[in-house]
Amino acid sequence: MSAPTIVFDLDGTLVDTAPDLIATLNVVFAREGYKPVEYESSRALIGGGARVMIERGLKSAGHEYTPALIERLFTDFIAYYGAHVADRSRPFPGLEDALDALARRDCRLAVCTNKLERLSLQLLESLGLRRRFAVICGQDTFGIQKPDPEVLRRTIAQAGGRLDRAIMVGDSLTDIHTARAAGIPVVAVNFGYSERPISEFGPDRIIGHFAELPAAIADLDPAH
């Protein structure tokens, strides 16, 4: 039987993108005369895409906003972030060794993220990771985003995988909900951007370092 397809979230799972995302948010806020958001408390704003991050940031700071303001800030955010996508963003420790181990087992590797596809490709290319994934799908790839399970199903299909031989790896409740709705197991990392302890959301496995991922995948692989 073929090896499983492993589908990864991006922000907070594969790559610690918080430094560049939060820096971009603060640049956009400064242009509006808003005070900067605090780094540690703002990590939990990440995960739903740039629009959601902006809206969460405005709400957490007590600012009123309209859809028109969100769209204007979104345009500014994407323009600035695109030029600074990998200034300080780095893969989480142990990632490349874990990907090597999965590749040796002939696993198909894919990315399913709520980041825009072109920014995802740009980030992973900048970090030398793009070639490792069969497909990299963003919120605009199919016009659907997590937690809609259809984006996960389509990502798996585009990678040439099968839904009954797939496992999700993510850092948030959104990732867990998406995997559950698609009917596949999910491994959660506990070093991402979840506002609450990831254990509260009941993933199938939790890892604290990527060195633990190959064993977690082997445990969950139905053909193992």
Which of 82, 103, 135 finishes a domain?
A: 82
- Let me know whether 95 and 149 are in one domain: yes
Q: Alpha-carbon distance 73 to 79, whole Å?
A: 10
| One domain, residues 38 and 126 | no
Last residue of a domain, one of 28, 48, 82: 82
- The reply to whether 164 belongs to the active site is no
Higher per-residue pLDDT: 168 or 44: 168
172 and 124 both lie in a single domain: yes
Nearest residue to 57 via CA among 66, 71, 44, 72: 44
My answer on whether 139 and 202 are in the same domain is yes
* Average pLDDT of every residue of the chain: 95
**pLDDT for the residue 49:** 87
Q: In the prediction, which pLDDT does 222 show? A: 62
pLDDT in tens, 162-192: 999 999 999 999 999 999 999 999 999 999 9
Is-cis flag, bond preceding 203, omega within 30?
Answer: no
Question: Domain containing 98 — which CATH number?
Answer: 3.40.50.1000
Domain finish residue from 62, 82, 102: 82
- Better-scored residue on pLDDT, 110 or 223: 110
How high is the pLDDT of residue 1?
58
Of residues 49 and 6, which shows the higher confidence score?
6
Q: Report the pLDDT value the prediction gives residue 157, as an integer from 0 to 100.
A: 98
Instruction: Answer whether 169's CB lies under 8 Å from 189's CB.
Output: yes
Same-domain check for residues 44 and 59 = yes
Are the beta carbons of 136 and 124 closer than 8 angstroms?
Answer: yes
Q: Is there a single domain that holds both residue 62 and residue 145?
A: no
- In 17-156, where do the E strands start and end? 90-91, 108-112, 135-137
Which pairs with CB-CB distance under 8 Å and at least 24 residues apart come from 25-28? Answer: 25/53, 25/54, 25/57, 25/77, 27/80, 28/54, 28/73, 28/76, 28/77, 28/80
Which pLDDT tens digit goes with each residue over 71-116?
A: 999 999 999 999 999 999 999 999 999 999 999 999 999 999 999 9
pLDDT on residue 47: 82
Residues of the domain holding 198? 5-16+89-220
Single pTM value for the model? 0.95
Q: What pLDDT score was predicted for residue 224?
A: 54
Q: What is the CATH number of the domain that holds 33?
A: 1.10.150.240
What number is the average pLDDT over the span 28-47?
Answer: 92
The total of structural domains in the chain comes to 2
Residue type, 76: D
pLDDT tens digits, one per residue of 101-156 = 999 999 999 999 999 999 999 999 999 999 999 999 999 999 999 999 999 999 99
